[in-house]
Amino acid sequence: MDSDDEYVPNTRARGLTNAEGAYRWEDEYHRSWDVVQEDSGGSLAPAVNGIIDTAKRRKIKPMAPVHRGIIRNLVLVLDASLAMSDTDMRPTRFYSMISSASVFVTDFFSQNPISQLAIVVLRDGLAVLTSKLDGNPQTHLDNLAQLRKSQVSGQASLQNGLELANVLLSQTPQYNTREVLLVFGALMSNDPKPISQTIHKLVENKVRVKIIGLAAEVAICRQICTQTNMGESNSYFIALNEQHFQTLLSDSLTPIPVLKERESAAKSTDSAEPATAVRMGFPKRQLHSMSASLCACHQTLTKQGFFCPQCKAKVCTLPMTCPVCALTLIMSTHLARGYHHLFPLQPFNQTQGYKNPCFGCSVSLANRSQFECPKCHNIFCVDCDVFFHENLHNCAGCEVQNTDVQV
């Protein structure tokens, strides 16, 4: 090559550029100011409100009513190896993971009140049980706060983490779902034995594994998720940034469908498979008492609590498994909050041209996005739409019509 020639790297051959010759990562920001357009009156309010409304409805997805297990047992496995000290997530991967996990625990028990969760940490080639399988969210939040004060160290071991999770879940009843949600930031695993043996145990115990990677894709993680989920490939994800990581965690709030092999086995039998009866207790609450009594869960003297209807033992919070007779203690509202997953509220259709206020909150819909319920055809604002789908799980317009019919 002559000295006057200019060297140009062959980026197109490497797939780094598009057809126009620009870098692919620039496509997302190419003329981004064209997204915001003025209306006929010269105002930017409609465009800005549209961007905000789109961000609010990002989590609303269409869901078909399928067979799901509403009594869940989930083991949250967190990577605390040296790979989690990277700063591609601020301030580090580890602290970002702990903050997102705290939000996930709160939302998990809000959406799945009769479920249980455990937390396992991977560091120094070991798997440490940080929080045992329990249905009290405050216990897990306190343990995560203590974990935040610790330091990352050593390497992670996928096999040890999955083995410990398998032992915890093997003690749960068969009618409960057995799930593992693993946050993995390393690119290698320090395993003492072939991990294929562990995968075989997970498949035998019907343990479903979902992995969220914080680095590049790892082949063994893909293999674990595929084999434990009956060949489905939608259980292994790579987080692109902090917001995407939180979105991937929030996707695990919805109970997973029942295993295909279980459904096919039930259909292949001549007679219908008998339903499993789950014994639960609805205890009475004592607000105030003249004298303090000992609670069975914390062994402390309290003047208020809930009394088990079977053994009369007192516990502090619900839901909880009775420490004396092992009866599941819940309230009727807990069943109602877990039941909505079986019949999810369908997304509303975006519309325009509606002049009246929002049917739900009576706010003006001028320069706001409008959404129509496909059943009752009432129009709502984006805030009511998000509230119905994420919290209430029912349409206010449909409920009013049902009430009118009953009256």
The residue among 281 and 33 whose pLDDT is bigger is: 281
Q: Is residue 336 part of a domain?
A: no
Q: For the chain, how long is the longest CA-to-CA vector? A: 98
Listed in sequence order, the residues at least 6 apart from 207 whose beta carbon sits closer than 8 Å to its beta carbon are: 165, 166, 169, 178, 179, 180, 228
Q: Report how far residue 10's alpha carbon sits from residue 157's, in angstroms, rounded to the nearest whole number.
A: 40
Question: What local confidence, expressed as pLDDT, does residue 59 receive?
Answer: 60
User: Residue 214: pLDDT band by 50, 70, 90 thresholds?
Assistant: very high
Residues 6 or more apart from 6 whose CB is under 8 A from it?
A: none
Task: Provide the token pair at 391.
Answer: 């919290």
pLDDT at residue 62, rounded to an integer? 59
343 lies in a domain?
A: no
User: What distance in Å separates the CA atoms of residue 144 and residue 105, rounded to the nearest whole number?
Assistant: 10
Whole-number mean pLDDT of the chain? 82
> 73-77, 318-322, 333-337 — which one is most confidently predicted on average?
73-77
Q: How far is CA 169 from CA 118, 205, 209, in A?
A: 10, 8, 12
pLDDT band at 82 (very low <50, low <70, confident <90, very high): very high
State the residue for tokens 């009140």. Answer: 113
pLDDT for 385 beyond 80:
yes
Parallel/antiparallel/unpaired status of strands 116-123 and 72-79: parallel
Q: Is the dihedral of CA 89, 90, 91, 94 positive or negative?
A: negative
In whole angstroms, give the CA distance from residue 276 to residue 28: 51
- The whole-angstrom separation of Cα 201 and Cα 223 is 14
Residues 201 and 165 reside in one and the same domain: yes
Residue 180 shares a structural domain with residue 127? yes
Same domain, 239 and 365: no
Band of pLDDT at residue 386, cut at 50, 70 and 90: confident
**Whether the Cβ atoms of residue 182 and residue 97 lie closer than 8 Å to each other:** no
Counted domains in the chain = 3
Measured between alpha carbons, how far is 290 from 348 in angstroms, rounded to an integer? Answer: 52
Residue indicated by tokens 């499993």: 276
Question: Do residue 323 and residue 353 come from a single domain?
Answer: no
Q: Which of 237, 255, 273 is the last residue of a domain?
A: 255
Q: Are residues 191 and 310 in the same domain?
A: no
Is 50 exceeded by the pLDDT of residue 15?
A: no
250 and 211: one domain?
Answer: yes
Considering the domain architecture, whether residues 229 and 371 belong to the same structural domain is answered as no
Last residue of a domain, one of 270, 293, 327: 327
Distance of CA 145 to the CA centre of its chain: 20
Ranges 8-12, 108-112, 140-144, 233-237: which has the least confidence: 8-12
Q: Which two tokens stand for residue 215?
A: 């680095």
Rounded to 5 degrees, what angle do the CA atoms 193, 200, 155 make?
Answer: 35
**Cα first-last separation, the chain:** 89
- For residue 293, the enclosing domain spans 284-327
Mean pLDDT in residue range 378-390: 90
DSSP 392: I
Q: Has residue 11 been placed in a domain?
A: no
DSSP characters over 185-244: --S----SS-HHHHHHHHHHTTEEEEEEESSS--HHHHHHHHHHTTT-STTEEE--SHHH
* pLDDT, tens only, 133-179: 988 899 999 999 999 999 999 999 999 999 999 999 998 888 889 99
Task: Write the pLDDT tens digit of every residue in 342-373.
Answer: 778 888 998 988 888 999 999 998 878 899 99
How do residues 297-322 score in pLDDT, each as one tens digit? 888 888 888 999 999 999 988 888 88
pLDDT of residue 58: 60
For residues 407 and 398, give the distance between their C-alpha atoms in angstroms, rounded to a whole number. Answer: 14
In a domain, 15, yes or no: no
Look at residue 407 in the predicted model and tell me its pLDDT.
Answer: 37
User: Would residue 340 count as lying in a domain?
Assistant: no
Picking from 255, 276, 295, the residue at the C-terminal end of a domain is 255
- In order of 34, 174, 176, 298, the CA distances from 273 in angstroms are 59, 14, 16, 40
Does pLDDT of 77 surpass 50? yes
Q: Please check the confidence at residue 229 and state whether its pLDDT lies above 80.
A: yes
Instruction: Tell me: do 94 and 154 sit in the same domain.
Output: yes
Residue 180 has pLDDT above 90, yes or no: yes
Q: Answer for the pair 365, 357: CB distance below 8 angstroms, yes or no.
A: yes
Are 136 and 196 contained in the same domain? Answer: yes
Flag whether 51 is in a domain. Answer: no
Say how far apart CA 161 and CA 123 lie, in whole Å: 10
Q: Which of 137, 150, 143, 148 is nearest to 99 (CA)?
A: 148
pLDDT tens, 17-28?
555 555 544 444
The number of CA neighbours under 13 Å toward the Cβ of 25 is 2
Tokens of 44: 């930017």
pLDDT score recorded for residue 290:
78
Q: Are residues 318 and 208 in the same domain?
A: no
Same domain, 310 and 379: no
From the list 127, 124, 222, the residue with the least C-alpha distance to 166 is 127
Query: Is the model's pLDDT at 99 over the cut of 90?
Result: yes
Is the model more confident about 4 or about 361?
A: 361
Query: Is 83 part of a structural domain of the chain?
Result: yes
**Residue at 115 is within a domain:** yes
Q: Are residues 83 and 230 in the same domain?
A: yes
CATH number at residue 388: 3.30.40.10
Higher pLDDT, 308 or 263: 308
3-class DSSP string for 65-119? CCCECCCEEEEEEEECCHHHHCCCCCCCHHHHHHHHHHHHHHHHHHHCCCCEEEE
- 51 Cβ contact partners less than 8 Å away, ≥ 6 residues apart: 35, 36
Q: How many CA atoms lie within 13 A of 139 on its CB side?
A: 18
